[in-house]
Every structure is written in structure tokens, then in C-alpha cells.
Amino acid sequence: MIRVSGPDAIAIVAPLLRSPQPLAAFPSHVLRRVGIVNAKSGERVDEALCAVMFAPRSYTGDDVVELSCHGSPALLRLVTRWIVGGGARLAEPGEFTRRAFLNGRVDLVQAEAVALMIGARTERAVALAARALAGGLADQARAWRDTLVALIAGLEVVLDFPDERISHDPEAARATIARLRAEVDRSVTAARHGRVVHDGISVALVGPPNAGKSSLLNALLGRDRAIVSPTPGTTRDVVEGTVAIAGVPVRILDTAGLDVPRDPIEAEGMRRSRLAIEESDLLLVVLDSSVSPDLRILEETATRARLVVLSKSDLPRHPDAADLENTVDASTVRTGGTGALLERLVQEVEQRASEAGDEGGIVTSLRQLELIEALSESLASSTSAFELMPLEAALVDLKLALRLVGDVLGIDVGDVVLDRIFSTFCVGK
């Protein structure tokens, strides 16, 4: 697909097409079969499908021409070179969506949802990105904005005309802020879970040498990613792979065994193992169930989120291993031997990704998440200001909240409060 957007798009592409009907006369949003030719020699190079979308009814809001050519990279480069030679230029990354935003075709939330959709790595992440693209967060933000505009406008009138007893009273305003803050807090929680679905989580396999970590990594990934050997210390560096669990990308890290290093290379491998421990969301502490467990590793990881995995459960269990509590058995040689571990992993992932499923869930960019977190804080500050400070102080926090909502949507809210005051309350009549 080659897409050309801009006021001169039709004029630039038209010389390259052969069709019974001129390109400018094509009906909008209809596919037509065309020939693509060298504009100078007239030599035909491809049969393609062409669609014209006339402004403003296009994705970018400008005239758009789309050519669906055959998939040869050489052919696409050739046609693109001819289009550029005719006066177009190559688009910058994200430029079509940026133009759509600037021309009012999408708001900033929807524009960022396009990037989220492109980066989605699981079906669950695609579903959340599609919800954002359809306006899920944007609709919420616009509702918050309307509430804040009405609230601020009413309180401004109370300040300016305290004896007239018009518009809002402070108690009603406090109740409105509490309701709004509860809605924002729910969105913050949903957005944090949505970020987990989109970004995924990291799980590190840690334990002593020869505990079965590499075999477990291969079993979880369903392919041979790490070298497996009965010789302790085979894994010297962090080996990783990614698998989808409960619709969430899970990055699994196989680390070097933790023990007393025998040489500088082993020492470096263990240093990297401990770095992986610090950077991971969950640890799988892998212990060989057939030998006495290394309690030092249990002590070292006691403060981290973890699952204790007793590997090689197909072998006779050592009595000391039988005394460990809250463990899960795993065997990489027995059919279904990792089933219990996968069930626990699903529970752990779901707990981090969503407490109540994806119904009503949202995914945001990090920028949006930071803004709605700040919005929650400003609403909390305005609640405290109502109780402890003059009304003017609460208005400062509410106006900050309004600016933050505007930043989420990518709009200027500078004059909207004044517009609402004059149109609704007729001040100065």
C-alpha cells in the first residue's frame, strides 16, 4: 500500500495511472482497478487498486490517494520514487496521524491509540488499543472536562457575587469533586492494568546451579531457547524469551545459578542474575526437589514477589524439600508436568493485568497515565482546600485539573471557563 496525502496528492499521482476515468473524477472512497505506468515512457509496470478520498472525508482530512500494488519491494520503491519525483516527499514517522489530529479528524487520545495499536503484541492488547482508538478514554476525559467547566464556572460566580445566592454552593461542589475523583481513580487503576497488558511483565528464573532453570525456560516457551546440560554452571549469561500468558506478553529470563563463583566469568554471570532479579516483576525461585534446598536463595528473595518452584518433581523428593510451604511442583520430562506452574502464572499475570477482567478496561500512553494520575492528585488537593482554605485555593487546584484534562485531549481550555460563565449565568446583564 502506498498512501499519498495533501492538497496536491491527486495531481501528483494522476500521471502514473492509466484508467478509463481521470483520477480527479473517481468517486470518493471507491476502489478502482488501474494500471501504473512510467509517466515518461508510458511503460506499464503493474495492475493495482486505487482509492481516492476527498478532503475532508479522509483519515488525514486532506485529499488522499491510496494505491494497493503487488507486494514486490522493488516495485514499491520504484512507484514511490516516481511519486516523490512528481513533487511529493516521504512522510515523517506518524505524520499521517499527526495531520489527522491537526485537522480535527481525531483527538490526541485517539492519535496516541494508533501507536498503542501498532505496538500491541497480544490479542488482549489489540482489544484495549481498539477501545482507546474508538474513543474510550477520550469520552471519559470530555465528560470530566464538562464537569470541571461547570463546577469552576459556578464557583467563580459564588466568589464574585456572594450575596446573590446563585449557582453552586460549596457543599454541592465538594460532593461533585468527590464523585469526579472516584471516577478518575478508577480510570487510573484501569490504565495501570492496561499498561501491564500492553507492556507485559518480566519473570526471572532464579536458583542454584543445575536446578533445572534452563529446562523450565524451554518448557514454558515451547522451544529450545537455552542450552541444557547436566554440568552445573552451563548458563553464564541471562537468556530470555517471550510468551503470551492470559493475553499478556511475559518476558521470561533464565539466569545464571547463584552460588559461590569459581572464576570471574561466573561472578559476572551472578551479578547479572541479581540485576535481573531487581528488574523483574516476579521471580520463579527454582529448587531441585530431589536434593536439600538452598535456603540462602530463599532468604535472598524473601522480600520479592515470587513463586517457589520445586523442579524435577518426577524424581524422589528429598525430605527437606517436602517441608517447604507454598510451593508448586514442575517437571519438564513428564507430560503435563508444568501445568500447575502455568496455572499459577496465569493467576499472577491476571492479578497484575486486571482485577476485574477487561470489561471497562483502558490502555493509555505513559503520558496520559501520568496526566490522569496528576489529575487525581489535583482533585484530592482541591478537596482538602475546601475544608481548610478559602474557596480561591480550591479553585486553583480545580483549574489545574481542567488544564490536565485539556492536556490529555490535546486541546486549549484557556477561554472555556469564561465562555461558560457569560453564557450560563449572564453576569453583567
Confidence (pLDDT) at 232: 53
Confidence (pLDDT) at 422: 32
pLDDT digits (tens, 9 = 90+) for 15-50: 999 999 999 999 999 999 999 999 888 899 999 999
In single-letter form, the type of residue at position 98 comes to R
pLDDT digits (tens, 9 = 90+) for 69-84: 998 999 999 999 999 9
C-beta neighbour count of 2 within 10 angstroms: 16
- Is CATH 3.90.1170.50 what the domain over 133-196+365-425 is classified as, yes or no? no
Distance in Å from the first CA to the final CA of the chain:
59
Confidence (pLDDT) at 164: 56
Decide: 211 and 217 in contact? Cβ < 8 Å. no
In single-letter form, the type of residue at position 130 comes to A
C-beta neighbour count of 393 within 10 angstroms: 15
- The residues spanned by each domain of the chain are 2-101, 133-196+365-425, 208-353
CA distance 429 to 422: 9
208-353: which CATH topology? Rossmann fold (3.40.50)
Confidence (pLDDT) at 108: 79
The model's pTM: 0.71
Confidence (pLDDT) at 162: 59
Nearest one of 204, 210, 263, 267 to 238, comparing CA atoms: 204
Confidence (pLDDT) at 69: 94
Confidence (pLDDT) at 235: 55
Nearest one of 408, 362, 367 to 194, comparing CA atoms: 362
Confidence (pLDDT) at 194: 85
- Give the torsion sign (CA, 54, 60, 65, 67): negative
pLDDT digits (tens, 9 = 90+) for 227-255: 555 555 555 567 888 888 888 888 888 88
Q: Which CATH class is domain 2-101?
A: alpha beta
- Cell representation of residue 91: 512522510
How many Å is the maximal CA-CA distance in the chain? Answer: 90
Q: What is the pLDDT along the chain (429 residues), one digit of tens a residue?
A: 999 999 999 999 999 999 999 999 999 999 999 999 998 888 999 999 999 999 999 999 999 999 999 989 999 999 999 999 999 999 888 888 888 888 888 887 888 888 888 888 888 888 888 888 887 788 889 999 999 998 888 777 766 665 655 555 667 788 889 999 999 998 888 888 888 888 888 999 998 888 888 888 888 888 776 555 555 555 556 788 888 888 888 888 888 888 777 778 777 888 888 888 888 889 999 988 888 888 888 888 888 898 898 988 888 888 888 778 888 888 888 888 888 999 999 988 888 876 444 555 677 888 888 999 999 999 999 888 777 777 777 788 899 999 999 888 877 644 453 344 334 433 323
Exposure class string for 160-182: b at 16+ Cβ within 10 A, else e: eeeeeeebbeeeebbebbeebbe
The residues, any chain, with a CB within 8 Å of residue 246's CB and separated by 6 or more, are: 124, 346, 349, 350, 353
User: Is the previous residue joined to 232 through a cis bond, with omega within 30 degrees of 0?
Assistant: no
Q: Are strands 17-18 and 282-288 parallel, antiparallel or unpaired?
A: unpaired
